[in-house]
Amino acid sequence: MRVLRVLLGLAAALGVVAAGALTWVLRDLPDLEPWAARWELPEAPPRGWEPRITARFLGVATLVISDGETTLLTDGWFTRVGLWDILRRAPVSPDPDAIATGLHRAEIRRAAVVMPVHSHYDHAQDAPDVAGRTGAVLLGSETTAWIGRGAGLREDQIRVAEPGVPQVFGDFTVTHLVSKHIALPAGQGRLGESLDAPLVPPVPIDAYPEGGAWSILIEHPLGSMLVQGSAGFVPGALDGYAADTVFLGLGGLARQGEAYSRQYLKEIVDALGARRVVPIHFDSLTERPDGRHVPGPRLLFDPRLSFALLEEWAEARPGRSVAWLRPWREVVLFPSPGGS
Ligand SMILES: [Zn+2]
């Protein structure tokens, strides 16, 4: 009995130490403000008659791109799931209040298309609801389509993207290119897995498999951009394509290290000949941004690696820049050729 008591005591002590270590690691949050101060784009002046393309970044990989006539969204993710609910695999549903508030705050009434960059919950969980509220088409993988069906989205609002085949929305042309998800610790994220039946919430977040990761090319007479949600790449996949601006997902690079990060920049940003990089997916998955982006733990994203590499990339190449989008704020990405 005494041995058992000692063992139980030891186990309890180890548990306390492990919980303490986990808390410490998760509380090691980087300071993003020095980078925001260096790179921030000014708020868009009120829209006049001139055509222009604006963007808003709403956290993680949710972007709103608009030319005033047509509005496109990536992800449309407003729900957040707390760490405790993630750890205990609690069944969760899209948060209708967060979605309604988020759409209102980003001034989105109608949208042409909502495009999850892949089918993990932090990209695809709210997309069917957002499509339903804005009249948009949900465009993505087969798995994303099953998430749409599970949410009760009408079949005529669900479209499966064909790799490399352009789709037209107003003056925008959107092309989904096959990419790769960044490697995750063994057993996490159900990489390479897909759905073949409707996914009906509430479900634990690991019910959302990856379903295939995209690089999404968005072209318009005023400018071109690529949205890279997950920090993976298929070597050579973007050869022959070009984009002026890359929205570059940085989540998970801290684990992959410097050599991988440099290769990633080369395969995505340099392959497209891009002149501007907008960092995305560097922020918290458990808290919504307000006036500032909420940092995620340094364990997942370390600005001392990724932001420093971006700064080095811009400084080494004339005419290249890094742009910071404060959450919710509308910025002009491409002004009209003749005006502001
Ligand atoms: Zn993912």
Backbone angles phi, psi at 319, to 5 degrees: 80, 5
* Residue 60 domain-assigned (yes or no): yes
* Domain shared by 12 and 37, yes or no: no
Residue 25 pLDDT more than 90? no
Cβ 141 vs Cβ 115: under 8 Å: no
* Domain shared by 20 and 69, yes or no: no
CATH of the domain at 112: 3.60.15.10
Residue 89 pLDDT more than 60? yes
Q: 16 C-alpha vs ligand 1 centroid, how far in Å?
A: 30
* Domain shared by 5 and 103, yes or no: no
* Residue 206 domain-assigned (yes or no): yes
* Domain shared by 3 and 67, yes or no: no
* Domain shared by 211 and 272, yes or no: yes
Q: What are the pLDDT digits (tens) for 202-231?
A: 999 999 999 999 999 999 999 999 999 999
Higher pLDDT, residue 201 or 46? 201
* Domain shared by 251 and 162, yes or no: yes
Q: 230 C-alpha vs ligand 1 centroid, how far in Å?
A: 6
* Residue 340 domain-assigned (yes or no): no
pLDDT at 210: 98
Q: 318 C-alpha vs ligand 1 centroid, how far in Å?
A: 33
Mean of the pLDDT values across residues 183-190? 91
* Domain shared by 316 and 277, yes or no: yes
pLDDT band at 339 (very low <50, low <70, confident <90, very high): low
Q: 307 C-alpha vs ligand 1 centroid, how far in Å?
A: 20
Mean of the pLDDT values across residues 44-67? 94
Cβ burial of 90 (10 Å; 0-12, 13-18, 19+) is: middle
Q: 5 C-alpha vs ligand 1 centroid, how far in Å?
A: 43
* Residue 193 domain-assigned (yes or no): yes
Q: 50 C-alpha vs ligand 1 centroid, how far in Å?
A: 37
- Measured between alpha carbons, how far is residue 260 from residues 74, 256, 264, 268, 319 in Å? 25, 6, 6, 12, 25
* Domain shared by 91 and 1, yes or no: no
Q: 181 C-alpha vs ligand 1 centroid, how far in Å?
A: 6
Q: How many domains does the chain have?
A: 2
Q: 13 C-alpha vs ligand 1 centroid, how far in Å?
A: 34
* Domain shared by 320 and 191, yes or no: yes
Q: 211 C-alpha vs ligand 1 centroid, how far in Å?
A: 10
Q: 231 C-alpha vs ligand 1 centroid, how far in Å?
A: 9
pLDDT band at 111 (very low <50, low <70, confident <90, very high): very high
Q: 226 C-alpha vs ligand 1 centroid, how far in Å?
A: 17
* Domain shared by 281 and 143, yes or no: yes
Range of the domain at 20: 1-30
Residue 340 pLDDT more than 60? no
Residue with tokens 């042409």, as numbered in its chain: 112
The 3 state secondary structure assigned to 284-336 is CCCCCCCCCCCECCCCCCCCCCHHHHHHHHHHCCCCCEECECCCCCCEEEECC
* Domain shared by 200 and 211, yes or no: yes
* Residue 66 domain-assigned (yes or no): yes
Question: Considering only 42-46, 95-99, 102-106, which range has the smallest mean pLDDT?
Answer: 42-46
Residue 2 pLDDT more than 80? no
pLDDT band at 187 (very low <50, low <70, confident <90, very high): confident
* Residue 191 domain-assigned (yes or no): yes
CA 323 from chain centre, in angstroms, equals 16
* Residue 292 domain-assigned (yes or no): yes
* Residue 320 domain-assigned (yes or no): yes
Cβ 128 vs Cβ 153: under 8 Å: yes
pLDDT band at 133 (very low <50, low <70, confident <90, very high): very high
Q: 237 C-alpha vs ligand 1 centroid, how far in Å?
A: 19
Q: Is 328 left (phi over 0), alpha (psi -120 to 50) or beta?
A: left
Average pLDDT, the chain: 94
Q: 220 C-alpha vs ligand 1 centroid, how far in Å?
A: 27
Q: 256 C-alpha vs ligand 1 centroid, how far in Å?
A: 15
User: Could you give the percent of the chain with pLDDT greater than 90?
Assistant: 84
| Residues in Cβ contact with 290 at an 8 Å cutoff, skipping those fewer than 6 apart | 327
Interior CA angle at 309 toward 303 and 315, to 5°? 125
pLDDT at 19: 67
Residue 29 pLDDT more than 60? yes
Residue 293 pLDDT more than 70? yes
Q: 255 C-alpha vs ligand 1 centroid, how far in Å?
A: 14
What is the spatial distance between Cα 306 and Cα 298, in angstroms, rounded to a whole number?
Answer: 11
Q: 45 C-alpha vs ligand 1 centroid, how far in Å?
A: 34
* Domain shared by 8 and 137, yes or no: no
Its pTM surpasses 0.85: yes
Q: 251 C-alpha vs ligand 1 centroid, how far in Å?
A: 9
Higher pLDDT, residue 337 or 247? 247
